[in-house]
Amino acid sequence: MLPSGGPDAPIGVFDSGVGGLTVVREVRALLPQEDIYYFADTAHCPYGDRPLAEVMELAAQVTEHLLEQGAKLIVVACNTASGAALQALRQRYPAVPFVGMVPAIKPACRLSPSGRVGVLATALTVQADLFSDVVHRFARDCRLTIQTCPGLAETIERGELSGERVLALLREYLAPLKAARVDVCVLGCTHYPLIRPLIEQELGPAVQVVESGAAVARQVERVLHERGLVAPHGRPGTFILAGSGDLNVVRRLAAELALLDPSFSRR
Ligand code: DGL
Protein backbone atom coordinates (compact mmCIF):
# COMPACT_ATOMS: atom_id res chain seq x y z
CA MET A 1 0.00 0.00 0.00
CA LEU A 2 1.24 3.53 -0.81
CA PRO A 3 1.12 6.46 1.59
CA SER A 4 -1.86 8.41 0.30
CA GLY A 5 -1.09 11.59 2.14
CA GLY A 6 0.58 14.81 1.09
CA PRO A 7 1.61 17.57 3.50
CA ASP A 8 -1.91 17.84 4.94
CA ALA A 9 -2.07 14.15 5.89
CA PRO A 10 -1.45 13.01 9.46
CA ILE A 11 1.72 11.51 10.85
CA GLY A 12 0.93 7.97 12.01
CA VAL A 13 2.52 6.98 15.31
CA PHE A 14 2.27 3.65 17.10
CA ASP A 15 3.41 1.76 20.15
CA SER A 16 2.17 -1.24 22.10
CA GLY A 17 0.39 1.21 24.41
CA VAL A 18 1.02 4.45 26.27
CA GLY A 19 4.80 4.62 25.73
CA GLY A 20 4.71 6.25 22.31
CA LEU A 21 2.98 9.25 23.86
CA THR A 22 6.40 10.27 25.21
CA VAL A 23 7.52 10.49 21.58
CA VAL A 24 4.35 12.28 20.48
CA ARG A 25 5.03 14.89 23.17
CA GLU A 26 8.37 15.69 21.47
CA VAL A 27 6.99 15.60 17.92
CA ARG A 28 4.20 17.88 19.04
CA ALA A 29 6.63 20.35 20.64
CA LEU A 30 8.78 20.51 17.51
CA LEU A 31 6.05 20.32 14.87
CA PRO A 32 2.87 21.79 16.41
CA GLN A 33 1.24 22.21 13.00
CA GLU A 34 1.25 18.47 12.26
CA ASP A 35 -1.82 16.27 12.66
CA ILE A 36 -1.01 13.10 14.58
CA TYR A 37 -2.90 9.83 14.46
CA TYR A 38 -1.75 7.69 17.39
CA PHE A 39 -2.44 3.97 17.56
CA ALA A 40 -1.95 2.18 20.88
CA ASP A 41 -1.92 -1.59 20.34
CA THR A 42 -3.17 -2.15 23.88
CA ALA A 43 -4.80 -5.49 23.03
CA HIS A 44 -1.28 -6.87 22.46
CA CYS A 45 0.73 -4.94 25.05
CA PRO A 46 3.42 -5.70 26.11
CA TYR A 47 5.39 -6.41 22.95
CA GLY A 48 8.65 -6.83 24.84
CA ASP A 49 8.10 -10.42 26.02
CA ARG A 50 6.64 -11.73 22.74
CA PRO A 51 8.47 -13.69 20.05
CA LEU A 52 10.05 -11.59 17.34
CA ALA A 53 7.88 -12.99 14.55
CA GLU A 54 4.73 -12.09 16.44
CA VAL A 55 5.81 -8.48 16.99
CA MET A 56 6.74 -8.24 13.29
CA GLU A 57 3.23 -9.33 12.37
CA LEU A 58 1.58 -6.97 14.86
CA ALA A 59 3.69 -4.05 13.59
CA ALA A 60 2.68 -4.86 10.00
CA GLN A 61 -1.01 -4.94 10.97
CA VAL A 62 -0.80 -1.58 12.71
CA THR A 63 1.12 -0.13 9.75
CA GLU A 64 -1.68 -1.24 7.39
CA HIS A 65 -4.18 0.50 9.64
CA LEU A 66 -2.15 3.72 9.73
CA LEU A 67 -1.81 3.71 5.95
CA GLU A 68 -5.56 3.22 5.65
CA GLN A 69 -5.89 6.43 7.70
CA GLY A 70 -3.76 8.17 5.06
CA ALA A 71 -0.59 8.53 7.15
CA LYS A 72 2.17 10.36 5.25
CA LEU A 73 4.93 9.07 7.53
CA ILE A 74 4.96 6.39 10.22
CA VAL A 75 6.78 6.73 13.52
CA VAL A 76 7.49 3.42 15.21
CA ALA A 77 7.45 4.98 18.69
CA CYS A 78 8.57 1.79 20.32
CA ASN A 79 12.11 0.44 20.69
CA THR A 80 10.82 -3.12 20.77
CA ALA A 81 8.81 -2.87 17.54
CA SER A 82 11.64 -0.94 15.85
CA GLY A 83 14.14 -3.64 16.74
CA ALA A 84 11.83 -6.44 15.67
CA ALA A 85 10.19 -4.98 12.60
CA LEU A 86 11.60 -1.73 11.23
CA GLN A 87 13.76 -3.36 8.59
CA ALA A 88 10.94 -5.67 7.47
CA LEU A 89 8.47 -2.78 7.36
CA ARG A 90 10.80 -0.74 5.16
CA GLN A 91 11.16 -3.70 2.81
CA ARG A 92 7.46 -4.41 2.72
CA TYR A 93 6.43 -0.74 2.20
CA PRO A 94 9.32 0.82 0.26
CA ALA A 95 7.36 3.97 -0.60
CA VAL A 96 6.47 4.74 3.00
CA PRO A 97 8.79 6.90 5.10
CA PHE A 98 9.36 5.25 8.49
CA VAL A 99 11.09 6.74 11.50
CA GLY A 100 12.02 4.19 14.14
CA MET A 101 14.02 4.29 17.30
CA VAL A 102 16.81 2.63 19.18
CA PRO A 103 17.97 3.15 22.79
CA ALA A 104 20.07 6.35 23.01
CA ILE A 105 23.38 4.51 23.53
CA LYS A 106 25.32 6.74 21.15
CA PRO A 107 24.61 10.05 22.96
CA ALA A 108 24.88 8.30 26.33
CA CYS A 109 28.39 7.08 25.63
CA ARG A 110 29.43 10.56 24.53
CA LEU A 111 27.90 12.06 27.64
CA SER A 112 29.35 9.67 30.18
CA PRO A 113 32.54 10.92 31.86
CA SER A 114 33.35 7.46 33.23
CA GLY A 115 32.23 5.40 30.24
CA ARG A 116 29.96 3.39 32.54
CA VAL A 117 26.49 3.49 31.01
CA GLY A 118 23.32 1.69 32.08
CA VAL A 119 20.58 0.70 29.63
CA LEU A 120 17.02 -0.21 30.62
CA ALA A 121 15.04 -1.92 27.85
CA THR A 122 12.73 -4.83 27.05
CA ALA A 123 14.00 -8.35 26.44
CA LEU A 124 13.10 -8.22 22.75
CA THR A 125 14.83 -4.86 22.24
CA VAL A 126 18.17 -6.12 23.51
CA GLN A 127 17.91 -9.31 21.41
CA ALA A 128 17.46 -7.35 18.18
CA ASP A 129 20.21 -6.93 15.57
CA LEU A 130 19.47 -3.20 15.56
CA PHE A 131 20.51 -3.04 19.23
CA SER A 132 23.68 -5.12 18.71
CA ASP A 133 24.63 -2.91 15.75
CA VAL A 134 24.34 0.25 17.84
CA VAL A 135 26.31 -1.31 20.70
CA HIS A 136 28.97 -2.46 18.28
CA ARG A 137 29.25 0.89 16.51
CA PHE A 138 28.94 3.37 19.35
CA ALA A 139 29.76 1.69 22.66
CA ARG A 140 33.21 0.29 21.98
CA ASP A 141 34.80 2.50 24.60
CA CYS A 142 31.96 2.17 27.07
CA ARG A 143 31.11 -0.40 29.68
CA LEU A 144 27.41 -1.05 29.30
CA THR A 145 25.22 -2.52 32.00
CA ILE A 146 22.18 -3.76 30.11
CA GLN A 147 19.11 -4.48 32.21
CA THR A 148 15.84 -5.91 30.91
CA CYS A 149 12.79 -4.93 32.94
CA PRO A 150 10.04 -7.61 32.86
CA GLY A 151 6.76 -6.28 34.16
CA LEU A 152 7.77 -2.62 34.17
CA ALA A 153 6.07 -1.60 30.92
CA GLU A 154 2.90 -3.49 31.99
CA THR A 155 2.85 -1.67 35.31
CA ILE A 156 3.19 1.69 33.58
CA GLU A 157 0.56 0.59 31.07
CA ARG A 158 -1.87 0.15 33.96
CA GLY A 159 -1.26 3.80 34.79
CA GLU A 160 0.85 3.09 37.88
CA LEU A 161 3.46 5.81 37.63
CA SER A 162 4.19 5.84 41.35
CA GLY A 163 3.56 3.65 44.37
CA GLU A 164 4.99 0.52 45.93
CA ARG A 165 4.71 -1.87 42.98
CA VAL A 166 6.48 0.28 40.42
CA LEU A 167 9.09 1.33 43.00
CA ALA A 168 9.86 -2.29 43.92
CA LEU A 169 10.38 -3.24 40.27
CA LEU A 170 12.47 -0.19 39.63
CA ARG A 171 14.71 -0.80 42.65
CA GLU A 172 15.30 -4.36 41.45
CA TYR A 173 16.23 -3.24 37.94
CA LEU A 174 18.32 -0.25 38.99
CA ALA A 175 20.38 -2.26 41.50
CA PRO A 176 22.82 -3.64 38.86
CA LEU A 177 23.25 -0.14 37.39
CA LYS A 178 24.03 1.26 40.82
CA ALA A 179 26.42 -1.60 41.53
CA ALA A 180 28.21 -0.83 38.24
CA ARG A 181 28.37 2.86 39.26
CA VAL A 182 26.98 4.08 35.93
CA ASP A 183 26.83 7.84 35.45
CA VAL A 184 24.40 7.77 32.52
CA CYS A 185 21.20 5.75 32.30
CA VAL A 186 19.47 5.18 28.95
CA LEU A 187 15.69 4.79 28.97
CA GLY A 188 15.49 2.25 26.15
CA CYS A 189 11.72 1.80 26.16
CA THR A 190 9.26 4.59 25.44
CA HIS A 191 7.18 3.64 28.47
CA TYR A 192 10.00 4.46 30.90
CA PRO A 193 10.11 8.27 30.45
CA LEU A 194 6.66 8.27 32.06
CA ILE A 195 8.37 7.35 35.34
CA ARG A 196 11.49 9.41 34.72
CA PRO A 197 11.10 11.46 37.96
CA LEU A 198 11.07 8.22 39.94
CA ILE A 199 14.10 6.86 38.08
CA GLU A 200 16.00 10.10 38.65
CA GLN A 201 15.06 10.08 42.30
CA GLU A 202 16.28 6.49 42.72
CA LEU A 203 19.54 7.03 40.81
CA GLY A 204 20.37 10.34 42.43
CA PRO A 205 21.70 13.57 40.92
CA ALA A 206 25.07 12.14 39.83
CA VAL A 207 23.42 10.00 37.14
CA GLN A 208 22.14 11.61 33.95
CA VAL A 209 19.08 10.04 32.38
CA VAL A 210 18.69 10.07 28.60
CA GLU A 211 15.82 9.15 26.31
CA SER A 212 15.31 9.19 22.52
CA GLY A 213 12.04 11.08 21.99
CA ALA A 214 13.55 14.44 21.03
CA ALA A 215 15.97 12.82 18.56
CA VAL A 216 13.08 10.95 16.97
CA ALA A 217 11.15 14.21 16.61
CA ARG A 218 14.14 15.85 14.89
CA GLN A 219 14.39 12.89 12.52
CA VAL A 220 10.67 13.19 11.72
CA GLU A 221 11.23 16.87 10.90
CA ARG A 222 14.20 16.02 8.64
CA VAL A 223 12.34 13.32 6.73
CA LEU A 224 9.25 15.50 6.27
CA HIS A 225 11.45 18.26 4.87
CA GLU A 226 13.32 15.92 2.54
CA ARG A 227 10.06 14.59 1.14
CA GLY A 228 8.26 17.93 0.94
CA LEU A 229 5.68 16.69 3.44
CA VAL A 230 5.78 19.39 6.15
CA ALA A 231 2.27 20.61 7.01
CA PRO A 232 1.61 24.32 6.47
CA HIS A 233 2.99 26.34 9.40
CA GLY A 234 0.68 28.27 11.65
CA ARG A 235 -2.25 25.90 11.71
CA PRO A 236 -3.00 23.96 14.90
CA GLY A 237 -2.26 20.25 14.57
CA THR A 238 -4.90 17.77 15.69
CA PHE A 239 -4.42 14.62 17.74
CA ILE A 240 -6.46 11.48 17.18
CA LEU A 241 -6.19 8.56 19.55
CA ALA A 242 -7.05 5.06 18.39
CA GLY A 243 -6.15 1.55 19.46
CA SER A 244 -6.90 -2.14 19.52
CA GLY A 245 -8.08 -2.47 23.14
CA ASP A 246 -8.92 -0.49 26.24
CA LEU A 247 -7.78 3.11 25.85
CA ASN A 248 -8.71 4.51 29.27
CA VAL A 249 -5.16 4.80 30.60
CA VAL A 250 -3.82 5.99 27.24
CA ARG A 251 -6.46 8.72 27.19
CA ARG A 252 -5.73 9.74 30.77
CA LEU A 253 -1.98 9.96 30.21
CA ALA A 254 -2.45 11.76 26.88
CA ALA A 255 -4.48 14.34 28.78
CA GLU A 256 -1.80 14.60 31.47
CA LEU A 257 0.82 15.18 28.80
CA ALA A 258 -1.43 17.95 27.44
CA LEU A 259 -1.88 16.12 24.15
CA LEU A 260 -5.64 16.34 24.45
CA ASP A 261 -5.88 20.10 24.93
CA PRO A 262 -9.00 21.74 23.51
CA SER A 263 -7.37 22.48 20.16
CA PHE A 264 -7.03 18.76 19.54
CA SER A 265 -9.72 16.53 18.21
CA ARG A 266 -10.07 13.09 19.74
CA ARG A 267 -12.06 9.96 19.43
N1 DGL B 1 7.19 0.97 24.59
C2 DGL B 1 7.86 -0.16 24.08
C3 DGL B 1 9.33 0.13 23.78
O4 DGL B 1 9.72 1.25 23.53
C5 DGL B 1 7.79 -1.47 24.79
C6 DGL B 1 6.77 -1.83 25.76
C7 DGL B 1 6.31 -3.24 25.53
O8 DGL B 1 6.97 -4.18 25.99
O9 DGL B 1 5.28 -3.36 24.88
O10 DGL B 1 10.13 -0.76 23.76
**pLDDT digits over 48-103, tens only?**
999 999 999 999 999 999 999 999 999 999 999 999 999 999 999 999 999 999 99
Parallel, antiparallel, or unpaired for β 143-148 and 208-210? Answer: unpaired
**CATH number listed for the domain at residues 105-211:** 3.40.50.1860
> What pLDDT is stored for residue 75 in this prediction?
98
212 Cα distance to chain centroid: 7
**Domain topology for 11-101+214-256:** Rossmann fold (3.40.50)
Q: What is the dihedral of CA 152, 155, 159, 162, to 10 degrees?
A: -70
User: Is the distance from the beta carbon of residue 212 to the nearest atom of ligand 1 less than 6 Å?
Assistant: no
Q: CA-CA distance, 102 to 81, in Å (whole number)?
A: 10
**Pocket residue to mutate for ligand 1, from 23, 39, 55, 79, most atoms within 8 A of Cβ:** 79
Which sequence spans correspond to the domains of the chain? 11-101+214-256, 105-211
User: In 3D, which of 194, 109, 170 has the Cα closest to residue 145?
Assistant: 109
Output 113 or 266, whichever has higher pLDDT: 113
Nearest atom (ligand 1) to Cα of 19: 1
Decide whether any atom of ligand 1 lies within 6 Å of the 170 Cβ: no
User: Tell me, what's the pLDDT at 155?
Assistant: 97
pLDDT in tens, 119-158: 999 999 999 999 999 999 999 999 999 999 999 999 999 9
Q: Whose CA is nearest to atom 2 of ligand 1?
A: 78
* Domains 11-101+214-256 and 105-211 in one fold: yes
**Model-level pTM?**
0.95
Alpha-carbon distance of 227 to 157, in angstroms, equals 34
